[in-house]
Structure 1
Amino acid sequence: MSDQLEMPGMPKRLFSCTPSKLATFADCPRRYRFAYLARPSPPKGPPWAHNTVGSAVHAALRSWYELPVEKRTPAAARQLLYSGWSRAGFRDDEQAAQWRARAAAWITDYVAELDPADEPAGTERTVGATTEALALSGRVDRIDRRGDELVVVDYKTGRVPSTEDEARGSPALALYVLGVRRTLRRPCSRVELHHLPSGTVAAFEHTDRSLANHVRRAEDIAADIGTATEALDAGADVDEAFPPVPGQQCSWCDFRSSCPTGQAAAPARETWSFLPPEPVPADG
């Protein structure tokens, strides 16, 4: 970055990023360096079962919308989930099978409430936008048409139902709104978190002010990335430019095996430990 000369009067080079890239640096600059700057990148740890569940649900819903309208049935969604299932990250085959059945129930119930003929404006759609400092891009799970406006829909499969605070505070969802507006040239303000396990929806209507706040924070993070990168290029110590931020999150960091600081900060977790507790059978 520092070796690029900028001619007088030329526009400043925009920082290309995704919400995930910005969040990685905000969480831990060392993890950012491992993921985006180090070449070769350090090896990542094993897959996590909860990510396997989420990926399977997302893929099945995307494929469901790719079917002809008359074939968009709950049974089809269930079969799509089965066909794309993986046991990566689970304790054993039995646990993987239990979670496949549970995820299949979620997706069956979810699509039963959808109108198959209600065609989204996009599924797994990449959108982009620019600000004064950023060239943003990201992939939206689903973009719904609601009258004259578009709505950003994000699927969730985590432990607890999503909340309005989560919808309001998500940098990714806010940046997706900007991307939808710029890419599809349609009004967009509403974001929704669809939590499949509970069948609940958490929503928020963005305003110009709320979006501006998210953009300002994103640009601040990008500026910090630029400063750190320039310091590294100028010969600064790598761990001073991109320091670790140790904490409980080190238990599940992808680069834990390459980070002694993270290993000392927290014990490693089992790859299935983020799955919600399994129901305890009733006595008798």
Structure 2
Amino acid sequence: MRTTGERDGPRQAAFPGMPEPLWGGSPSKLLAFLDCPRRYRMQYLDTPRPPARPQRAHTSLGIAVHNALRDWWDLPERTPEGGARLVEKAWIDVGFRDAVQSGRWRQRMRDAVAGYLERSGTQERPVGIERTVSFVSDDLRVQGRVDRLDDRAGELVVVDYKTSRQVPTDDDARTSLPLALYAAAVWKMFRRPVHRVELHHVPSGTVVAHEHTPESLGRHVERARSIMRDARKADADFARHGVGSTMFPPVTGPLCGWCDLREHCPEGQAAAPEKSDWAALGDD
């Protein structure tokens, strides 16, 4: 599943008796506020937005693999070899140490995608491929894109591709806020129960899953609404005080070494050294 950094449009004047406007965003926006309010402010509220660092190698790799798996369904003949060729076509040569490293990882991902498709076998075309889904819960609106939405014997299944070094676990599928919110959105849009969510780790071929219940999805939606309420208060304070607002403290730690906006955050720079563009590949 992929989402883009969204920003709210121009604020309209409120009139007496008007209901509270919807707070809209993706799961990524919710998690950005939860993880680090300072980064959230720079990414979604500051105008102009502070420039981010150049794209890292693992992001380039992930985008290329996602695009290849998306376009594979449109091939006249869907074969593993065709998927490998699509990786070659979609490859993004940005963030790697040099051309040798980029070429090595391009070949690895060609092999990984071919192997993943070989193991998957012949499948019916999914109900959705990078399908935009959304839902409204009181004053919260969630929207984003699902990598793949399968129909398996009448049951809809939310599928999210992963390309990181770390192989996900069933617990990752169970606790994932984005997967649960997208399952809730698909349930509401298609008016069909959605229980199963899956993480497909393309490099290893590992598939982990969780079977949600209406109650567990409801807990995730309520968690999202709780984060939204805090973000809404911070947004309102930013509207009054701008960058002088005290409601966007930095949350510092090792992850600051990966932050794309660390150049604009002295606390983050002091917390951890910056990671190289290719650090997440494990080639160091």
**TM-score scaled by structure 2?**
0.92
The 3-state SS of whatever aligns with 2:156 is strand
Match of 1:35 among 25, 43, 51: 43
CA contact (8 A) 2:37 2:251 kept: yes
> Counterpart in 1 of 2:263?
257
What do residues 49-93 of structure 1 show as CA deviations (whole Å, max 9, x unaligned)?
11111111100000001223xx11111101100011112111000
Match of 2:278 among 269, 272, 275: 272
Which structure's CA Rg is the greater one? 1
CA contact (8 A) 2:198 2:208 kept: yes
Deviation at 1:115, TM superposition (A): 3.9
> Counterpart in 1 of 2:246?
240
Deviation at 1:3, TM superposition (A): 7.5
RMSD: 1.8
* Structure 1 unaligned spans of 5+: 279-284
Q: Following superposition of structure 1 onto structure 2, how do residues 190-209 of structure 1 map, counting pairs within 5 Å?
A: 190-209=196-215
State how far apart, in whole Å, the 1-side matches of 2:241 and 2:207 are: 49
State how far apart, in whole Å, the 1-side matches of 2:192 and 2:249 are: 41
Q: Identity percentage over the alignment?
A: 47
State how far apart, in whole Å, the 2-side matches of 1:177 and 1:93 are: 40
Deviation at 1:223, TM superposition (A): 0.7
Deviation at 1:184, TM superposition (A): 2.5
Classify 1:234/1:195 alpha carbon distance in 2 versus 1 (closer, same or farther; 3 Å): same
Give the paired residue count: 275
> Counterpart in 2 of 1:21?
29
**TM-score scaled by structure 1?**
0.92
What do residues 187-232 of structure 1 show as CA deviations (whole Å, max 9, x unaligned)?
2110000111211111001111111111111111111111112222
The 3-state SS of whatever aligns with 1:137 is strand
Residue type of the partner of 2:44? Y
Residue 62 (structure 2) pairs with residue 51 (structure 1) = no
The 3-state SS of whatever aligns with 1:234 is helix
Classify 1:67/1:3 alpha carbon distance in 2 versus 1 (closer, same or farther; 3 Å): closer
Deviation at 1:114, TM superposition (A): 2.9
The 3-state SS of whatever aligns with 1:154 is strand
Match of 1:60 among 61, 68, 77: 68
Deviation at 1:238, TM superposition (A): 2.7
* Structure 2 unaligned spans of 5+: 1-9
Q: Following superposition of structure 1 onto structure 2, how do residues 1-284 of structure 1 map, counting pairs within 5 Å?
A: 4-5=13-14, 7-8=16-17, 10-68=18-76, 71-235=77-241, 238-277=244-283
> Counterpart in 2 of 1:281?
none
State how far apart, in whole Å, the 2-side matches of 1:142 and 1:235 are: 42
CA contact (8 A) 1:30 1:239 kept: no
CA contact (8 A) 2:183 2:197 kept: yes
Q: Which has the larger displacement, 38-47 or 238-247?
A: 238-247
Classify 1:239/1:275 alpha carbon distance in 2 versus 1 (closer, same or farther; 3 Å): farther
Residue type of the partner of 2:14? L
The 3-state SS of whatever aligns with 2:275 is coil
CA contact (8 A) 2:238 2:245 kept: no
